[in-house]
């Protein structure tokens, strides 16, 4: 069900549309520039006409910052290749953990459907899994777990997730949690921590039993650890991932990348199944970063701006199915000169950003305009020319330096809003 359009959002959208028209007509949109590092100009760049889109998230952050025992703020970051290799999420994760504490590496998938998937807070080694990825609509029941990927164990399937031995992030864990599902085709899934004996999880259910999501927790002494999973014998265990967390307080930032996916692919999720996954994870903030692949549909006129707004609103409503008030931040697409094999005109990126803003605000989410933060339409070429380059040669993705720059802008914008929220609600300073 689509949420009613807040009046404040309608006013903001009308103003934004008017500004876009005037800007395009005057030609000022063509004069792209690269803004200085965000730390030098921390500004209120997060759009939230309602003023409450991030309140739940900020309340959780305040508890973490106040060193409340066990107060872990959990962020679910869904996105396409814009969050590939954990670039943008890790840029946000490390800044959040520096300020609010290290809650751990968070959710880690059992394998890589694409080499573009990573969680930079851990070391992941895996092989032998059969992967069902939501973009291919390979599960008729729509049970794609928490991150849009299902991992079926073939004989010899193996995963090792290890805390980082170097660096400041992901070096400690207090508990592991294996996410899986029972079904009649299941089988033994073995798990162990460090060199302890293997424990067996039976994922097989009765022939007439419905598929059921399950979680297996292993508590450990805080510190560096390794968790291993394997499948030997008959059956095909079905699993989604493993969570690594500390005792808190702190922040976890889950990277759930769906490389190459169109926004509407998330409608393949069964709403109740996904809601159950999100509720178990106790998510405090949904960060949503799709749209780069959908630009091809704008270029080929296979979707109108109005149609895309409806699609995106349906997707946001699906993800927040049982929690329509879940704090939500939509990150608009970065500037593009290409989308796949297509050349992208400035009107395409302008229309896409306008559609994303409209859908986000209509669904009660906050919005970050990445393209404007970069300097406007055409800025991708300017970012590419910098040293080090902030954009990739394909002119549709940011480099790791560029993703870190964008993450800095988003983090600073969130902190401006957080400080205002704390003053408004009289929360104590951290």
CATH code at position 127: 2.60.120.1360
Residue 32: per-residue pLDDT: 62
Residue 41: per-residue pLDDT: 54
In a domain, 4, yes or no: yes
In a domain, 430, yes or no: no
Instruction: Give the number of domains in the chain.
Output: 2
Nearest to 418 by CA among 62, 41, 102: 62
Domain that holds residue 123: 105-247
Burial of 341 (0-12, 13-18, 19+ CB in 10 A): exposed
Q: How confident is the model at residue 164 (pLDDT cuts 50, 70, 90)?
A: confident
Q: What is the β-pairing status of strands 106-108 and 238-245? A: antiparallel
Question: Tokens representing 282?
Answer: 């106790």
| Residues 231 and 274 reside in one and the same domain | no
- Spatial neighbors of 204 by CB under 8 A, at least 6 apart, are 182, 183, 184, 185, 186, 187, 235
| Residues 233 and 313 reside in one and the same domain | no
In a domain, 77, yes or no: yes
* Bigger pLDDT: 38 vs 422: 422
| Residues 205 and 145 reside in one and the same domain | yes
Angstrom distance (rounded) from CA 347 to CA 35 = 22
Domain at 97, CATH number: 3.40.50.1110
In a domain, 283, yes or no: yes
| Residues 131 and 272 reside in one and the same domain | no
Q: Which of 213, 247, 281 is the last residue of a domain?
A: 247
| Residues 184 and 285 reside in one and the same domain | no
Q: Which of 216, 247, 278 is the last residue of a domain?
A: 247
Record the pTM: 0.90
In a domain, 367, yes or no: yes
User: pLDDT for 169-184, tens place per residue?
Assistant: 888 999 999 999 999 9
Residue 426: per-residue pLDDT: 76
| Residues 146 and 56 reside in one and the same domain | no
What's the CA dihedral at 374, 326, 316, 351 to 10 degrees?
-30
| Residues 161 and 61 reside in one and the same domain | no
Residue 37: per-residue pLDDT: 58
In a domain, 286, yes or no: yes
| Residues 338 and 369 reside in one and the same domain | yes
| Residues 285 and 409 reside in one and the same domain | yes
In a domain, 359, yes or no: yes
User: E strand or H helix at 274, and its extent?
Assistant: helix 271-281
| Residues 417 and 274 reside in one and the same domain | yes
Do the beta carbons of residue 253 and residue 211 sit within 8 Å?
no
| Residues 5 and 74 reside in one and the same domain | yes
Size (the chain), residues: 430
Q: Find residue 190's DSSP bridge partners.
A: 200, 230
* Bigger pLDDT: 424 vs 426: 424
- End-to-end CA, the chain: 39
User: pLDDT for 258-306, tens place per residue?
Assistant: 999 999 999 999 999 999 999 999 999 999 999 999 999 999 999 999 9
Q: Which of 179, 213, 247 is the last residue of a domain?
A: 247
User: pLDDT for 26-42, tens place per residue?
Assistant: 333 445 667 665 444 56
In a domain, 263, yes or no: yes
User: pLDDT for 368-419, tens place per residue?
Assistant: 999 999 999 999 999 999 999 999 999 999 999 999 999 999 999 999 999 9
Compute the Cα dihedral for 57, 60, 66, 70 and give only its sign: negative
| Residues 304 and 197 reside in one and the same domain | no
């Amino acid at each position: 069900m689509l949420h009613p359009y807040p009046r404040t959002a309608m006013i903001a959208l009308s103003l934004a549309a008017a500004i876009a028209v005037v800007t395009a007509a005057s030609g000022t949109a063509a004069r792209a520039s690269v803004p200085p590092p965000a730390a030098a100009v921390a500004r209120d760049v997060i759009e939230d006409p309602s003023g409450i889109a991030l309140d739940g998230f900020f309340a959780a952050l305040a508890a973490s910052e106040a060193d409340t025992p066990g107060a872990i703020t959990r962020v679910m970051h869904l996105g396409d290749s814009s969050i590939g290799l954990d670039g943008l999420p890790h840029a946000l994760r490390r800044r959040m953990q520096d300020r609010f504490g290290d809650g751990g590496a968070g959710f880690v998938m059992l394998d890589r459907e694409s080499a573009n998937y990573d969680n930079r807070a851990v070391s992941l080694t895996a092989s032998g899994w059969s992967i069902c990825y939501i973009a291919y609509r390979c599960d008729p029941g729509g049970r794609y777990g928490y991150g849009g990927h299902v991992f079926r164990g073939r004989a010899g399937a193996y995963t090792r997730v290890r805390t980082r031995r170097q660096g400041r992030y992901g070096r400690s864990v207090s508990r592991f949690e294996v996410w899986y599902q029972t079904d009649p085709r299941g089988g033994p899934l073995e798990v162990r921590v460090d060199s302890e004996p293997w424990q067996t999880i039976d994922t097989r259910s009765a022939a007439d039993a419905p598929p059921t999501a399950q979680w297996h927790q292993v508590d450990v002494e805080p510190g560096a650890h390794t968790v291993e999973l394997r499948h030997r014998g008959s059956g095909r265990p079905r699993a989604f991932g493993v969570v690594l967390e500390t005792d808190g307080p702190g922040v976890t930032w889950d990277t759930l990348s769906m490389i190459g996916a169109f926004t509407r692919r998330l409608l393949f999720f069964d709403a109740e199944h996904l809601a159950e996954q999100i509720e178990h994870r106790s998510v405090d903030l949904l960060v949503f970063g799709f749209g780069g692949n959908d630009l091809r549909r704008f270029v080929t006129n296979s979707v109108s701006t109005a149609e895309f707004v409806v699609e995106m609103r349906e997707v946001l409503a699906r993800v927040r199915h049982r929690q329509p008030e879940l704090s939500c931040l939509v990150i608009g697409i970065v500037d593009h000169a290409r989308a796949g094999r297509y050349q992208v005109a400035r009107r395409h990126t302008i229309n896409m950003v306008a559609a994303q803003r409209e859908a986000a605000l209509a669904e009660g989410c906050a919005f970050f305009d990445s393209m404007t933060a970069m300097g406007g339409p055409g800025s991708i070429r300017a970012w590419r020319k910098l040293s080090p380059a902030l954009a990739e040669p394909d002119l549709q993705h940011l480099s790791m330096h560029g993703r870190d720059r964008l993450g800095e802008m988003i983090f600073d914008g969130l902190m401006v809003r957080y400080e205002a929220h704390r003053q408004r609600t009289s929360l104590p300073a951290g």
